[in-house]
Structure 1
Amino acid sequence: MADKSVKENRILIAMDGSKYCNYAFDWYLENVKKPSDYVILVHCVEMNSLASMPGDIGASGLLMKSIEKERESCDKYLRELTDRMKAAELHGKVKRTSGPARSEILRVAEDEKVDMIITGTRGMGTVRRTLLGSVSDHVLHHSHVPVIICKHKDPDHQQEKQQGSKK
């Protein structure tokens, strides 16, 4: 039976299948996790492959095949997230949403009344982040709850950034 005197913290962790979000999940487990936490793993589906399809996709049935492939891939990833939660003995749920991650993360955080948001970051440079927009940057500046942005410690990633700044 749970101790009622311990406050349940509601933690949202944004997950997209990247090593950056996986790092954020692992960072949570190592640094923040408490037995009383209620964790919500959020995966925002944007149907990215549809944006790169050729112009006349309806006639050949490619659209339906592409949608089904995206759905299967998403369902598989959601099962993986559920398994990761069970393996880590987390109390909570996995939630799939549709739409841009930057707004969906904030919407789910508000709907679920979370106390904290945790996300990874790709560590884009200033120019790229300004032009493309950063999900983590947007969430940080528009959230009404604390946001932890976990920067991946990938040595290859750091080397790429250093080489890019020398060019």
Structure 2
Amino acid sequence: MAEGKEIRVVVIAMDGSDCSNYAFDWYKKNVHKPDDFVVVVHCPEYQTLMHHSVGHERKDIEQVAGKMQEEQKKKNDLLESLKQMLTDADISGKVKSIVGHPGEVIVKAAQDESAHLIVTGTRGLSKLRRTFLGSISDYVLHHAHIPVIVCRQ
């Protein structure tokens, strides 16, 4: 790297889906520069645990604890996989896992890292579904104060 050259920080939102993997590959092939520092941001979703009804029976509590352990293992496996993706692509960077609303987490992570660019995938929700469910990529587009690339397969 040349003396005095600023390192470009790129945040890539990844959840292990085909859409996020596509966004990573697209970034790698079309935008990546050798001096980039990539921050892969993962926002685990624990909704299935939150919606699981828990009674006061010991069996229910043990069941939820078991589900939580499963989710934690899946998350750890995914984080290792994301780290390996960076290594395999010979890209300098790190992986961050942050709990919260995904759109807010991505925008905040980009601010905290002084990022220059955000790259995200999209699941391609219909306009009607996006209206009711919201869209992470729409949120990021409207709230980030830096350029955002939304990669659609």
TM-score where L is the length of structure 2: 0.94
**Structure-2 separation of matches of 1:84 and 1:11:** 15
**Structure-1 separation of matches of 2:127 and 2:143:** 19
Give 1:102's aligned residue: 103
**Structure-2 separation of matches of 1:148 and 1:57:** 47
Shift of 1:53: 1.8
Residue deviations 1:31-80, cap 9 Å, x none? 00101100000100121320342342763211211111111000000000
Q: Any residues of structure 2 matched to 1:5-154 within 5 Å, and which?
A: 5-56=4-55, 59-60=58-59, 61-152=62-153
Cα root mean square deviation, aligned:
1.3
Q: 1:37 to 1:70 in 2, by over 3 A?
A: same
Q: How many pairs are equivalent?
A: 151
SS in 2 for 1:128: helix
Residue deviations 1:3-41, cap 9 Å, x none? 224331100000011110000000000000101100000
Q: 1:140 to 1:56 in 2, by over 3 A?
A: same
**Structure-2 separation of matches of 1:63 and 1:150:** 36
* Unaligned ranges ≥5, structure 2: none
Give 1:156's aligned residue: none
SS in 1 for 2:120: strand
Q: What percent identity do the matched residue pairs reach?
A: 40
TM-score where L is the length of structure 1: 0.86
SS in 1 for 2:52: coil
Q: 1:100 to 1:58 in 2, by over 3 A?
A: farther
The runs of at least 4 consecutive aligned structure 1 residues that moved more than 4 Å come to none
Q: 1:57 to 1:98 in 2, by over 3 A?
A: farther
- Tell me which amino acid in the other structure corresponds to 2:125: M
SS in 1 for 2:142: helix
Q: 1:17 to 1:57 in 2, by over 3 A?
A: farther
Q: 1:58 to 1:4 in 2, by over 3 A?
A: farther
